[in-house]
Structure 1
Amino acid sequence: MSDERARRIGENVRATRRARGVSLDALAGLVGRSKGWLSKIENGRARLERRSDIAALAEALQVSADHLLGGPAPEVRFERRRYNLVPLQRVLMDASPTDPLDVHARPVDSLRADLTDADTALRRADYDTVLRLLPGVIGELCVHAATGAEPARSEALKLLVLACGSDGTCTLRHLGETNLAFISGERAQQAADLLGDPIWRGAAAYGRAHARSSVNKPRPLMTAPKVADEVERHIGDDPFAHQVHGMLRLSAALAREIEGDHGGAADQAREAARLAAPLGDDPNAFELFGVANVGVWRTSLAVEAGEPGQALRYAEQVDPRALASDNRRAALRIEKARAHAMLGRDADAVRELRQAERLSPAQTHSNALTRELVADMLRRTGGRDLRGLAWRMNLI
C-alpha cells in the first residue's frame, strides 16, 4: 500500500523496532511475549487484538501508541472533507470560559435547546448537524461563563462541560481528530474547575479520559480509579451524580484491564453494574449510563481480557433497543466482531462489522482495532462483503 497511514499495526511495529535498533528477542522480552508471537504480529500472520499489548509495545519502543495505530483510512479522510471542522476548531482554540470571543450570546435556554439537538444528532451519527451547531453553542456559552450573572453563569458552565467534554470529544474522536478532541476535553475541564463542583469535575474528567485512544494509556484515563473514588464521596441522591460515578467506574475498569489487572477490572465493572441496576436505561442519562451500556462495556472488557466466549455472553444480554445511540449500538457490534474473530468465526465477524458500519460509518472506519481485524481476515479469507468493507477502509 502506498499510503503509510494504511499500513497494518504489525508493519508499524516492525518499522519502529528496526528504526530503534531493537531485536525481535529484545522487544518480545520487554513486553513479556515470545519471539514467535512478535514475529507473527510483524509479518501479518497474527493480529494484535488487545489494547494492553499495543500499549506495552508502544511503551517498550518509546513511541506514542498513535504512531503504531496509524491514521484513519484515506477513504475516511476523503469522506470527512464534506464536514466543515474549521468553525469548531476556531472556537475551541480561540475561546475559553474565561476569555470568550466577542460575539453576541443568545439566552442560555436557547443554547441548551441547540445542545440537545446536537446531542440527538450525535446519537444518529449525524456529524453534519453536530458540527453546525456546536461551534455557536460553545462560543456563546463561553460568553455567559465569563460575563454572566448567576444562575445563568453556572448553568452555562455545566452546559460547556457537556458540549465540550461529551459531544465535542466524542464527535472529534470518531472523525479521527484526536488533537482537537483533547483540546475540547481541556475546555470542559476548565469549565468544571470554574464551577467548583466535584460531580461536574468528574463529568469533565470522563471526557478527558476518552479524548485519546486508550492504548496510549492517557493519564486522564489511567487516573480514573482515583477520580471515581473522589466522586463517590459526593454523589448523595442526585441521579446525575450516580451516572457520572458509574461511567468513571467503567473507565477505571478499562484502565485496569489495559494494565493487565484483570481482577481489578472485573471489580470495577461489577461495581458499575451494581450502580446501573436500580437506574435502568434512561435515554437522557449522562453518557447513557445504564444496564445496557454497562453490558457493552463488559463485552469490550472481556474481549480485552482474551475471553471471547464471555464477551459474547455479555453481548447477548444487551438489548440494543435500550441503547439510545447508534454509536453505542455500533460499539457493541464491533466488540462482538472482535470476539467472533477470536473464535475463528470470520463470517460472523464480518456480519457484525457491516452492521456497525451501517450504524456509524466514520466510527467503524476510524477504529484502528477494527481496521486490523478486517486486514487480518482479508489475508486468510475472502468474500464480497469482506472485500467491500476492506475497500471502504482503503485496505485494498
Structure 2
Amino acid sequence: MLTLGPGHYIGVPAPVRVGRGRPLSLLCLPRVKGPSVSDIGRRLRQIRNARGKSLAVVAGLAGISPSYLSRLESGQRALDRRSLIVALAQALDVAPNEITSASLLATPGEPEEDRAVGAVRLALFAAGMGASQGRACGLAELDARANALLDKQRECDYATVGARLPDLINDLHTSLAVGKDEREILRLLVITHVQGTQAWLGDIGAGQDLAWQAATLAAAAAQDLNEPASLAISGFGTAFGLIGASGFDLANKVVADTDPGTGLGDDEREMSGMLTLTRSLIAASQGRHAERLAALDHAADLAAHTGEGNAFWFGFGPSNVGVWRMSVALEAGEHAEAARVAATVNPDALPSPTRRSAYWREYGRALARLPNHRNEAVLMLRRAERISPARVHRNPFMHSVLAELLARARDDAIGRELRGLAYRSGLLT
C-alpha cells in the first residue's frame, strides 16, 4: 500500500453514492507503462533542463547537494522517498506527479491479473453509477465469499482474488439495493473495498484511479453506517489514496477525523493503532520528525496492549509495528535505522505473507543504501520476491532501488541474481 499517484491531473466524473450516503467525487489518475532503468533520472534531468535550472540551484532549493542530485539523475541513487520527491517538485515548480508519472508505477501484472482488472473496473464503474447487475445473495453467502477473498489477498494469491472480485463487487452492491440486511452488507462493502479491492489493485500495479474509486465507495458505505470501526477502515483507505497523490495534509485530516480512539473495543483499538501508524508515515513524508516518532511510540504502546492481532485483516501488533518502523525510517531517509529495527523483528510472527514480504522488501531497501551490504540487500529482496513477486516487481519504489543496485552490479553470482530480479520486474529486456 505505500504508492505514489501517477497522474498528471485530477478529474471529477459523476459522484458515487452507496446506499443513502451523500455523494463523493472520484479522483481519476491515468495509468502509464512502467519505467526502464534510467527513466526516473532521465525525467528528472529533462524537467530541470526544461526549467533552465542548474544542478546547484535545484539541489540548493531541495536541500540536497549537487552531487547527490547528479547521482539521482544518473540512476546511481534511488528516488524512493515521498519527501524528497515533493522537495524536488517544489524546487522545479512542478507537481510531484510530473516527476513520478513515468517512474513510480509498478509494471503490468501477469496475464490473468491483467484480464481481471478490466472486469473489476467495470464492476466499480457500475457500482458508482448505482447500476450493478449482479445477483442478490443472502448475507451468509456474501459474508463467506468476502472472508475467503480477503484471506486470499493476505496470502498474496492475486490471481484468485482477481477472478473472484468482480462478481463479489457486483453481488454486494446488487444485494444492498434490495434493502435486506443493509447494515451488515454495508460493513462487508467497507472491508471488501479497502482490504480487498483497493489492496489488490495496489499490489498488482493497476494504478491509483481504480484504487481511489474503491476507497471512495468504502467511504460512502462507512458514512451510511456511521460506526467507529467502519469509519476507521475507510479512513485508512482514503488516507492512502491521498498519500499516493501527495495530499499529505488532507490525509492527516482524514486520519484524525476517523480515528476511533482507544476507549471502545479491541477491534477499534487495533484500528486506532493502524491510523496512528499512518499518521507516522505522513509525518515522515513531511519531515515532521518529532511527530513521526511520537506516533510510532504511541502505536507501539497500543500494540503492547493488543498483542499480535488481526482485526479486519490489518494484522496490527508489535511485529507489524516493527515493519512500519522500518518503512517510516526509510521514508525519513534513515536507512541504518531501518536496518537496525529489522534486526529486532521476528518475521515469523507477522500475521500474513503480505506483511512478511513487506518485511524482507523493506529490509532489502535499507541494506541497499548501506556501504558493503549489496549482497545482503539482493538476498533480502529475493526472499520478498519468493513470497510475493508482485509486491517486489510492481512496487514503485523498488524500481528506483533496483536501478541503483544495477548501476553498481558486478559480474558475479549476486549480480546475476540482481539482473534476474530486475528482468522479472520489467527493468531489463
Assess same fold via TM > 0.5: yes
Asked if residue 306 in structure 1 is aligned to residue 340 in structure 2, the reply is no
Q: Where do residues 53-132 of structure 1 align in structure 2 (5 Å cutoff)?
A: 53-61=84-92, 62-65=94-97, 66-67=100-101, 69-73=103-107, 76-77=108-109, 79=111, 83-96=115-128, 99-132=130-163
- Distance in 2, Cα, partners of 1:231 & 1:60: 38
Inter-CA distance 248–355: structure 2 relative to 1 (3 Å threshold): same
1:358 aligns with 2:386: yes
CA displacement 1:200-242 (0-9 Å, x = unmatched): 11210101222366473455534355236x532xx53311111
Letter of the aligned partner of 1:231 in structure 2?
Answer: P
Distance 2:74 2:53 in 1: 16
Distance in 1 between residues matched to 2:41 and 2:243, nearest whole Å: 17
TM-score of the superposition, structure 2-length normalised? 0.83
Looking at structure 2, the residues matched to 49 and 95 of structure 1 have their Cα atoms a distance apart, in angstroms, of: 35
- 1:378 corresponds to: 406
Alignment of 1:1-396 (within 5 A): 5-6=35-36, 7-61=38-92, 62-65=94-97, 66-67=100-101, 69-73=103-107, 76-77=108-109, 79=111, 83-96=115-128, 99-149=130-180, 152-177=181-206, 178-211=208-241, 214=244, 216-217=246-247, 220-227=250-257, 230-232=259-261, 235-344=262-371, 345-382=373-410, 383-396=415-428
Superposed CA RMSD = 2.3
Give the 3 Å change call, closer, same or farther, for CA 81–138 of structure 1 in structure 2.
closer
- Find the residue that maps to 2:305 and give its secondary structure: coil
Alpha-carbon distance, 1:327 to partner? 1.6
Q: Distance in 2 between matches of 1:218 and 1:261?
A: 12
> Would the aligned equivalents of 1:338 and 1:349 in 2 still touch at CA under 8 Å?
yes
Where 2:231 maps in the other structure, the secondary structure is helix
Conserved? CA contact 1:333–1:355, under 8 Å:
yes
Q: What is the match of residue 4 of structure 2?
A: none
Q: Do the aligned partners of residues 364 and 184 (structure 1) sit closer, same or farther apart at CA in structure 2, a change above 3 Å counting?
A: same
Shift of the 134–78 alpha-carbon distance from structure 1 to 2, 3 Å rule, reads closer
Q: What does the per-residue CA deviation read over 1:326-372, in whole Å, with 9 as the maximum and x for residues that have no partner? A: 12111111111111122120000000000111111111111122111
Displacement after TM superposition at 1:132 (Å) = 2.0
CA contact (8 A) 1:185 1:207 kept: yes
Alpha carbons of structure 1 residues 157 and 332: separation in structure 2 relative to 1, 3 Å: same
Residues 62 and 91 in structure 2, CA contact (< 8 A), matched pair in contact too = yes
The percentage of aligned residue pairs carrying the same residue is 33
CA deviation vs aligned residue, 1:52-103 (integer Å, no higher than 9, x gap): 1123223444234332534333xx445566542222111111114x825243
Contact 2:319 2:347 in 1 (8 A): yes
Maintained 8 Å contact 1:215/1:258? no
2:24 maps to what in 1? none
Deviation per residue, 1:232-259 (Å, 9 max, x gap): 2xx5331111111111000000000000
Q: Which runs of no fewer than 5 residues in structure 2 stay unpaired?
A: 1-32
Write the distance in 2 (CA, Å) between the matches of 1:60 and 1:164: 37
CA, structure 1 residues 170+81, in 2 after alignment: closer, same or farther (shift >3 Å)?
closer
State the alpha-carbon separation in 1 of the partners of residues 112 and 87 from structure 2: 31
- Report which structure shows greater RCO (CA 8 Å, sep ≥6): 2
SS at match of 1:364: helix
Q: Provide the secondary structure at the position in 2 that maps to 1:181.
A: helix
After alignment, is 373-382 or 246-255 more displaced?
A: 373-382
Shifted more, 318-327 versus 103-112: the winner is 318-327
State the 1:289 CA deviation.
1.1
Question: Partner letter of residue 261 of structure 1?
Answer: R
Q: CA deviation at 1:169?
A: 0.8
- 1:114-167 alpha-carbon deviations (Å, 9 max, x no partner): 111111111121112111222222222223333324xx1111111101111121
In structure 2, distance between residues paired with 1:180 and 1:94: 13
Q: 1:34 to 1:144 in 2, by over 3 A?
A: same
Q: Distance in 2 between matches of 1:369 and 1:52?
A: 13
* Aligned 8 A contact 1:334 1:352 in 2: yes
- Greater share of helix residues, 1 or 2? 1
TM-score, reference length from structure 1: 0.90
The 1:103/1:306 distance shift into structure 2, 3 A limit, reads closer
Structure 1 residue 41 displacement after superposition: 1.2
Q: Aligned with 1:69: secondary structure? A: coil
Q: Verify the 8 A CA contact 2:113 2:204 in the aligned structure 1.
A: no
Pair 1:59–1:206, CA change in 2 (3 A):
farther
Cα contact 1:281–1:289 (8 A) shared by 2: yes
